Amino acid sequence: MKELVFKAPLNSLSFGNVSFNLLKELYKKGVETAIFPVGNVDVAAFGRQEEEFKDWLEDGINNRFLKIDKDIPTLQMWHLNGAENRITRRQYLYTFYELDSPTEVERKIAELQDETIFSSTSSASHFGENAKSAPLGFDNSFKKINKTYLQGKTHFGLMGKFEKRKHTAKILKLWAKKYGNNYKYQLSCCITNPFLKKEQLEALIIHALEGKKYGNINFIPFLPQNSQVNDYLNSIDIDLGGVSGAEGWNLPSFNATCLGKWSIVLNASAHKDWANKDNCVLIEPNGKEPVYDNIFFKEGIAFNQGNIYTFDDDEFISAMEKAETICKTENKEGLELAKKFTYKNTLDKILSAIGQ
C-alpha cells in the first residue's frame, strides 16, 4: 500500500496509544498517510520520537486535505458509535467491541463499512462468522526497569477506568477484605475516569470500601505520560485489572504481563486471545450480568447493550493467594507475549483486510 487516509484520536488514552503505534508502523512501511485526528492532538504522552517520524506525522496532519483522493481507502479507528461518516468512498473501521449483544444500529454501522475489523476474536464473533479481527500489539516503548520498589511488600496494582464493566468496586472491596491494613501488602489504584467528576469518583470509592479507610490502598491520579505508566507497571508484582468483566483487549493487563508481571485474569471476552494458564492466573467466569450502570451503560439505547462476565468472590481471593506464591518470579511466558503480539502484525492484518 502506498497511500492511506487515517482517521483516529491521538492522545494519551488507550485509543490514542493504539493509533500512535499504528502510525509508527505506517511510517516504517513508507505509506503516504493523510492523518485526520479525532479531537485534540496530544502526542506528549509518547515522549521523544525520532525527528524523521515527527516530520512525517506533522506533514500527514497539516497537509491532510492536499493528500486525500476519493480512490484512497480510509482506515478509521473509532467506536461503532460515531463511525458512520466517511472521508473517502472506501472506509475500513478498526474498532473495539466489549459486550455480547450488538444492537441493530451497531450492526448497521458495521455493515456500512467496506470492512469492520475488531480488536479480538471474541468481539468479532458477535458480528457473524465472516467478521475479521486483528489483535493488538505490545508497545515496545514499555520496558523493564532495573529498580527496586516497596521492598519487603507484595504490591498489587489496579489500572483502568472505574466502571461496573471492569468490576472496579468489587475488586476494591474484596482486596480490602483480604489484605486491608495488612502492611505486608500494598494496592496501588490508577482508576480515574475522565467522564466522572472528582467528587463522583470519590463517592464510588467510599461506597466500594463501605466507608472504611485503609492505609495500604493508594489512589494514583491519571498518568498522562507513557513513561509514568511504564514506571507504575514495573512497580507492581500482581495486576488485578484482568478481572474485568468485558474487554476489547485490556491493554494495561496485557502490557503488565508482557513485562513479566503476573496478572489475575477472567478467562472471558478478549482476554482469551492472549491470556492462558501459563502466562496468567486464570479465573473462570461463573455467569453473566447486565452491564447497565446508568452512567456509561444505559439500558434501551442504540449502543452498548448486553452483559458482562461475573466471577465468584472466593475464587478471586484464591487466585490472589496463588499469585502471591509466584509473583516474585519473572513471568517468562508473559515475556513471550511481547514477541508474539506486535503492532507490525496488527497493521499487516488490517491492511490484508483492506486488500493490500
Which CATH homologous superfamily contains domain 154-340?
Glycogen Phosphorylase B; (3.40.50.2000)
Query: Rounded to an integer, what distance in angstroms lies between the CA atom of residue 303 and that of residue 108?
Result: 11
What pLDDT is recorded for position 355? 81
- Specify the DSSP class assigned to residue 187: E
Reported as a pLDDT band with limits 50, 70 and 90, residue 14 is: confident
What pLDDT is recorded for position 1? 59
Average pLDDT estimate for 323-348: 96
Does 37 have pLDDT greater than 90? yes
What pLDDT is recorded for position 47? 81
Which CATH homologous superfamily contains domain 3-137+343-354?
Glycogen Phosphorylase B; (3.40.50.2000)
pTM of the model: 0.95
Reported as a pLDDT band with limits 50, 70 and 90, residue 322 is: very high
Q: Tell me where in the chain the CATH 3.40.50.2000 domain(s) lie.
A: 3-137+343-354, 154-340
Measure Cα distances from 32 to 63, 68, 168, 354 in Å.
Answer: 11, 10, 42, 16
- Return the percentage of the chain with pLDDT > 70, whole number: 99
Residue 122: other Cβ atoms inside 10 A: 22
- Return the percentage of the chain with pLDDT > 90, whole number: 90
What pLDDT is recorded for position 129? 82
Reported as a pLDDT band with limits 50, 70 and 90, residue 13 is: confident
**Which tens digit of pLDDT belongs to each residue from 199-232?**
999 999 999 999 999 999 999 999 989 999 999 9
What pLDDT is recorded for position 356? 66
Which amino acid makes up residue 112? L
Average pLDDT estimate for 58-69: 95
